Amino acid sequence: MQRIPEPDLMDDDAQARAYAEADFAEPHENFITLFKQQWPGREVAGHVLDLGCGPADISIRFARAFPDCTIDGVDGANEMLAYGIKAVAAAGLSQRIDLTHCYLPDEALMQQPYDAVISNSLLHHLKEPMTLWQTIAACVKSDSTDGVPVFVMDLMRPESEAEVKRMVELYVANEPNILRHDFHHSLFAAYRVDEVRAQLDADGLSGLKVEAVSDRHLVVSGLL
């Protein structure tokens, strides 16, 4: 099935509210679980970058899972960030999570060193996917002795339109129409494992691995 891009920003208030109020506990908690499985027993400390943080649900879950880290969450959608700031405050994590409006590529961001970089569901939104990989490569702390963890999860494009329809009915049948619509189009806009592998190799990030972790998600991970 051919990839069909979708808008790179989700800055409509109704759209942002729907995402902020939706229950993403299962996939977002799985993000944390898979990160821990990638590096068993590793405690993440220091400064973490969350690219495309949206309403900050994963930033919050990551901060709770790793209490010795602080997180910079960045997103290009102001409406998403507004809901994220409220969620961070409600979670009592405003001293550890800082959310900033940022549209990639951003030279200032790429000059800041981080002890870990995470991202969820940003890749398929970007007009130019290499922007994500170039940003990550520029943001990892260069003097790390044992490497900087990089963990990126995104949707994975199904083989057919029939599979898209099946997944919409299976995973978001009871969600608001706006979420069903966005999930449908995001599946069309997502990349497949071989396409992401080619992106990584082209950007000199062959040390990162990419693998399917469910019928609709892929993960890029490794130490840089």
Please tell me the pTM assigned to this model.
0.95
- pLDDT-based confidence at 8, cuts 50/70/90? low
pLDDT the model gives residue 6: 83
CATH number of 13-223: 3.40.50.150
In DSSP notation, the chain reads: -------S----HHHHHHHHHS--HHHHHHHHHHHHHHSTTPPP-EEEEEET-TTSHHHHHHHHH-TTEEEEEEES-HHHHHHHHHHHHHTT-TTTEEEEE--SS-TTGGGS-BSEEEEES-GGG-SSTHHHHHHHHHHB-TT-SS--EEEEEEEB--SSHHHHHHHHHHHSTTS-HHHHHHHHHHHHHPBPHHHHHHHHHHTT-TTSEEEE-SSSEEEEEEE-
The pLDDT mean for the chain works out to 93
Mean pLDDT of 76-102: 96
| pLDDT at residue 9 greater than cutoff 70 | no
| pLDDT at residue 67 greater than cutoff 90 | yes
